[in-house]
Structure formats: C-alpha cells, structure tokens
A = this chain, B = another copy of it.
Amino acid sequence: MESEIEMTLACPAPLADNSRILMAHGAGGRQMQRLIEDLFGTAFRNPILDARHDSALLSLAAGQNRLAFSTDSYVVQPLFFAGSDIGALAVNGTVNDLAMGGARPLWLSAGFILEEGLSMATLRRVVDSMRAAADLAGVQIVTGDTKVVERGKGDQIFINTAGIGVVQHGAPLGPRQVEEGDSVLVSGDLGRHGMAIMMAREGLGFESAIESDCAPVAAPALALLEAGIAVHCMRDLTRGGLASALVEVSEGSGLSVEIAEESIPVDESVQSACELLGFDPLYVANEGRFAIWLPAADVERALEILRSYPVSAGSRAIGRVGAPGAGDVLLRTAIGSTRFVEMISGEQLPRIC
C-alpha cells in the first residue's frame, strides 16, 4: 500500500468525505484555510464572498452608502481571563473585522448558545461586558437570539456576533491593492491575548502580568482613512497571529515581504511566557492589534495618527513589501540571517477566540 501513503503525503489533509474535523480546522492556519476554500468557498461561491475580505462589501443601490457585513462565533475558554472576557471579545472581534474593511461599525447582532446549567451570574457578567464594550466601540446590539443545549452538548457560552458598518472611503482595501515598496506597520506589541488565555488556562501564577490586548481598533483605523493616508490593506492579527496575516496578504498580492525581527514589538513578559510554553509570538493571537500596508511616503504621518490613540500607541514599522514572488514572507533576524515565515499548518492554541 506504499502508493497510498505517498499520495497522503503529497496531499496533506484532503477534505475526503471519510475525513473528520480536527481542532486544526479552527486554528487559523493552512488546514482552516483549506476547509474554507474547498468546502465553504466552493459551495457558497459568489463575487462578494470570493473577495475573501474579513468583512463582505455590499452595495444597495447607486448613490447609497456601501455596507460592510461580518460575522464571528466566539468559543474562547476560559470565559474570563486577565484583561477581558468572551463578551468584550465578541463585540471587539466583529467591530475590528468591520474596521479592517474601512467601515464604521454601527450595529451588531448577538446569538447565544447556552449550556443547560450555566449560572445566571456568569451570563449576566458576560452580557454586561458586551454592553460596556459596545458602548466603548460606539455600536448598538440591535437583534439577538438565544438557544439552550443540554448539559454536555455545549461549553457554558458560545456567542456569535454579526456586524454591519458603513464604508467610509471610496478606495478599495485588500491584498490586491498592496504594491511593491509598501511599508508594513503593526499597531502595538504582539502576543498578549494568546498568552493571557494560556496563563488563565494553565493556572500559572504570573497570570496578572499579562493582560489580553482585546480592544476596539476602529477609531485609529478609520482615522488613517479620514486623514487621507493611502492605506492599501489592513488586517487584524487574530487566530494565526502576525505570521498568518503576512502570509495571507503576500499570497493575495503575489508580492514578497521582508520584516525585521528586532522591530517586532513583544513585551518582555509575553516573550518569557512564550519561551516557557514553547510559542512563537509571531503566531500568537491578538485581539486589539492590526497591521497596515501603505506607501512608504505615508509612514511617518500614519504613525503619528496611530500613536495618538492609546490602543495603538505602540505602533511601529516592521517591514517592507518586495518584488513579486510566490507570496514569500522573509524574517531578517537580529544576527542578519533570514528565514521564511510559514502559515501554521495545524493547531497552535485551540479556542483562543
């Protein structure tokens, strides 16, 4: 049966009907990408979905506002962790997806799947946190739904939010708009959300030292557009971290990108936790950080705007888009060597969001 084994190696994890869903299919890497492309992308094919933005762009009629529409389900465990919780995450995650499409987030839906036996106090705490996060982000939760599943058929609370925003600016944003010579910025230090979850999960003592970065980033993202900065693409750095966003945008643009390891901001406590637990901060999820691709000439002005908001006060330039290539992402290390950055294939941190 040697030939069968070889075929398996040549085509990793094909979506054969006799295969099964793995945790990796939800982890933000290659296997999730394949599931989305091969199964959902093929079945639901239409021009809006095919654009593969974080949010869908909708046109009602000529002369009317264009809309952005996005959804995410939140299954994070534990529900509460240093700096945030599933409620705030469910609001900010969808708010940020809309903002990455250049849209001002306005309205959210909220769908709850509750496990029988959930404490009302826990639900109330989550709901109050959603309300506070919605107020902070300037959005309204306007419609909702509640389902209850039997004990052992869910896990306390799953929340889906979908969001509608109004597109603020005419220029398209996305990987195809990225150009050779563009600079790449990140809006702050990386890895806080993922490591805060790991600390809470492992019950490690220094939990309080790392707080999730979970926050709305719509204000600085939209401020760039309002100021006339020629933003080409924005991505929030959630599942799969900065590495996955860089690979996705490079593949979408057909251009290589080179980033300098020493320019990537990682807090010392996050770096220590990553080393202790064997994670690379490039791949760890963030929930209040985004990357921006823009012309080099606009970098200084963009950084000035970004740094005027507390949520993006730590913004930095980290790299530059290079020649057309096969979507290569190159990391130049502190000692001057370079290595390729790959999208993760399997799972790194399950149920991070």
Contact = CB atoms under 8 A, between A and B. Distances in A.
Contact of A20 (B35, B60, B120): B120
A62 B35 CA distance: 42
A145 B73 contact: yes
A23 interface: yes
Contact of A143 (B70, B73, B116, B120): B70
B117 A21 contact: yes
Contacts of A130: 43-44
A124 to B, nearest CB: 6
Given A70-B109, A71-B160, A111-B160, A146 B116 contact: no
Choose among A43, A71, A144, A145 the residue with the greatest number of B CB atoms under 10 Å from its CB: A145
A263 interface: no
A17 interface: yes
A350 B107 contact: no
Contact of A127 (B40, B67, B164): B40
Contacts of A351: 147, 149-150
Contacts of A27: 148
A46 B140 contact: yes
Given A15-B124, A17-B120, A56-B143, 6 more contacts: A18-B119, A20-B119, A25-B114, A36-B144, A44-B130, A147-B351
Given A113-B75, A148-B25, A164-B67, A49 B119 contact: no
Interface in A103-123: 106-107, 109-121, 123
A212 interface: no
B43 A145 contact: no
Contacts of A48: 107, 140, 142-143
Contact of A116 (B23, B74, B162): B23
Nearest to A351: B149
A142 B43 contact: no
Interface string A262-282: 000000000000000000000
A19 interface: yes
28 contacts: A15-B124, A18-B119, A18-B121, A20-B120, A21-B114, A21-B116, A21-B120, A26-B146, A26-B147, A26-B148, A36-B146, A39-B120, A40-B127, A43-B127, A43-B128, A44-B140, A46-B142, A49-B140, A49-B141, A56-B109, A58-B106, A61-B65, A69-B109, A69-B142, A71-B160, A73-B112, A75-B113, A75-B149
A49 B110 CA distance: 11
B154 A120 contact: no
Interface residues of A, number: 83
Interface string A227-250: 000000000000000000000000
B15 A56 contact: no
A134 interface: yes
Given A64-B60, A127-B43, A160-B73, A23 B120 contact: no
A170 interface: no
A65 B65 CA distance: 9
Given A39-B127, A44-B130, A71-B109, A56 B142 contact: yes
A72 interface: yes
A203 interface: no
